[in-house]
Amino acid sequence: MSRRALRDAGRARVHFGAGAPQSVQTAADVRSLLAAQITQLTANPDLDPLRVAGQLAQLARVALRAIELANLEARVQAVEAALRLRKEDQSDCATISSRLRSAYISSSPPPHAGMLTRSPDSTRAPRG
């Protein structure tokens, strides 16, 4: 037997993720998956403490990054929602403005309309 086989012979083996597969699509999903893995890792007293510490350090590093990304995702979604509302408000304002303009134009002629047309009896000879 090799050294590693002899060393590992006395340790209990734990296979993580043996339960139902989880769908990981967002940073929040990664965060919850890592929390479950950390809980499983710390719950097993038969594992080598040095390996547990190393694995916990790696999982904690990834978990911190996932938390940062989850917060960033939430902030981006909030900004996108605010921009969508602003765009909808602007389109609503433009629609109302165009409706008011068309209603005003159809109901009465503009006040300067009489100045732009000449009556047939007011013909002048060109100066020259």
Domain boundaries, the chain: 19-105
pLDDT digits (tens, 9 = 90+) for 47-70: 899 999 999 999 999 888 888 888
Contact status, residue 91 vs residue 85, Cβ threshold 8 Å? no
Mean pLDDT to the nearest integer, 80-84: 91
Please give the model's pTM, rounded to 2 decimal places.
0.48
Q: In the structure encoding, which two tokens stand for residue 43, read together? A: 């719950």
Of the ranges 4-18, 60-74, 83-97, 113-127, the best mean pLDDT one: 60-74
Q: What whole-number distance in Å separates Cα of residue 28 and Cα of residue 50?
A: 29
